[in-house]
Amino acid sequence: MKENRKEKQTGQPGKQPAERRGYVSLPPATMLNPAPVVLVSCAEKDRPENRNLVTVAWAGTVNSEPPMVSVSLRKERYSHDLVAGSGEFVVNLVDERLSRAADFCGVRSGRDLDKAREMGLQYRPAEGMETAPALEGAPVSLSCRVRQVIPLGSHDLFLGEVCAVQVRPDLLDERGSLHLERAKLIAYNHGLYQRLGDVTGFFGWSVARKDVYERRMAPYERKRTKK
């Protein structure tokens, strides 16, 4: 191996400051990007007509069997009280059409106004939920029952078991397979909303046989060359 210049100077491999290697240290922060951005719908247990939408980026998939997701909410959020009180929430994925609403629902509180009405959005009944509604028009809605609440510091982590999934029919093909790549989903990337780009592979593509790879990628390649 070639001795690098710094090693030659100090004789101490790996002792160079990060800056010298082309990296810059930032203070510890929530830098895991991109994050999902979702609209969580919820309602008050004893007054289910009192519904709300809150934008959440601190959301994640946390278990497969049973299927579970998490959302982290600050205690002071109006929706924190609704989710804690009802034990239910619905995670609605966000597409380009919902992108503006997602921002609005993340900067205004349901304590002060009806965010859905302001944004011209409608609720619909969520499968498997007693209280929480789903958001009409969302590509996918996950109905979740709270299984655990873990106080972490600034946020409480709500672990929800997914008890139903509803998808917009235009995202299913004639055989009933889901094509989420057609949904124009939005991600949250270090303070910016960004649409997802081209399909670059599929699960296991790096080890797939050439013919399998070509067959599976064909629809996306065609789409790409059409542009």
Ligand X SMILES: Cc1cc2nc3c(=O)[nH]c(=O)nc-3n(C[C@H](O)[C@H](O)[C@H](O)COP(=O)(O)O)c2cc1C
50 binds ligand X (CB under 6 A): no
Nearer of residues 18 and 107 to ligand X, judged by Cβ: 107
44 Cβ contact list (under 8 Å, min separation 6) = 50, 51, 82, 85, 86, 131
Are 216 and 208 spatial neighbours (Cβ–Cβ below 8 Å)?
yes
- Interface mask toward ligand X for 26-45; x: CB under 6 A: -----------x--------
For 140, the token pair is 């996918």
Segment interacting with ligand X (CB under 6 A) among 23-31, 74-82, 136-144, 163-171: 74-82
54 binds ligand X (CB under 6 A): yes
Pairing of strands 68-74, 192-195: unpaired
With 0-12 CB in 10 A as exposed, 13-18 as middle and 19+ as buried, what is 154?
exposed
19 Cβ contact list (under 8 Å, min separation 6) = 25
Segment interacting with ligand X (CB under 6 A) among 23-31, 51-59, 91-99, 172-180: 51-59
70 binds ligand X (CB under 6 A): no
Question: What are the CA-CA distances from residue 98 to residues 95, 108, 133, 135, 215 (Å)?
Answer: 5, 16, 17, 10, 33
* Residues 168-187 close enough to bind ligand X by CB under 6 A: none
Nearer of residues 1 and 107 to ligand X, judged by Cβ: 107
166 binds ligand X (CB under 6 A): no
CA 136 to chain CA mean position, Å: 18
26 Cβ contact list (under 8 Å, min separation 6) = none
Q: Which of 47, 74, 147, 224 binds ligand X (CB under 6 A)?
A: 74
Q: Which of 107, 152, 192, 207 binds ligand X (CB under 6 A)?
A: 107
- Interface mask toward ligand X for 112-151; x: CB under 6 A: ----------------------------------------
Which residues are near ligand X by CB under 6 A?
A: 37, 52, 54-58, 72-74, 77-79, 103, 106-111, 155, 188
